[in-house]
Amino acid sequence: MNPPLPEPRPHDLLALSATAPPFPDAPPWVDASLARAPFVVVRRAPRMGSAIAVGIRGTARSERFGAWLEPRYIDSALTPEALRLRQPDASRENMPAFAFLRAITPILDASGLAWGPAGSTGFELASGVPTITTHSDLDVIVRAPQPLSHADASRLLDALSLQARPAGTRIDVQIETPGAAFSLADFARQNVRVLLRHADGPRFAADPWAAP
Active site residue 109: no
Q: Half-sphere exposure of residue 85, counting CA atoms within 13 Å on the CB side?
A: 5
Residues 113 and 193 in one domain: yes
**How many other CB atoms are there within 10 angstroms of residue 1's CB atom?**
3
pLDDT at 1: 42
Last residue of a domain, one of 46, 78, 110: 78
Whether 25 is catalytic: no
Catalytic residue among 89, 109, 139, 172: 139
Residue 4 placed within a domain: no
What pLDDT was estimated at residue 7? 85
Residue 2, domain member (yes or no): no
Domain range enclosing 106: 80-205
> Same domain for 89 and 33?
no
From the candidates 75, 137, 172, 186, give the one annotated as an active-site residue: 137
Number of structural domains in the chain: 2
Domain boundary among 78, 108, 128: 78
Tell me the CA end-to-end span of the chain in Å, nearest whole number. Answer: 38
Nearest to 159 by CA among 107, 116, 208, 109: 107
E strand intervals along 26-91 = 39-42, 52-57, 64-69, 74-78
pLDDT at 196: 94
Please identify, among 78, 104, 126, the residue that sits at the C-terminal boundary of a domain: 78
Same domain, 62 and 93: no
The C-alpha atoms of residue 110 and residue 128 are separated, in whole angstroms, by 28
Q: Are residues 65 and 129 in the same domain?
A: no
- Whether pTM > 0.85 for this model: the answer is yes
Is 91 a member of any domain?
yes
Helix (H, G, I), strand (E, B) or coil at 68: strand
46 and 150 assigned to the same domain: no
pLDDT reported for residue 75 = 95
Span 114-168, pLDDT tens digits: 999 999 999 999 999 999 999 999 999 999 999 999 999 999 999 999 888 777 7
In Å, how far are 12, 35, 119, 157, 163 from 107, measured between CA atoms?
Answer: 23, 37, 20, 10, 10
Question: Can you list the residues of the chain whose pLDDT is less than 70?
Answer: 1-5, 190-191, 211-212
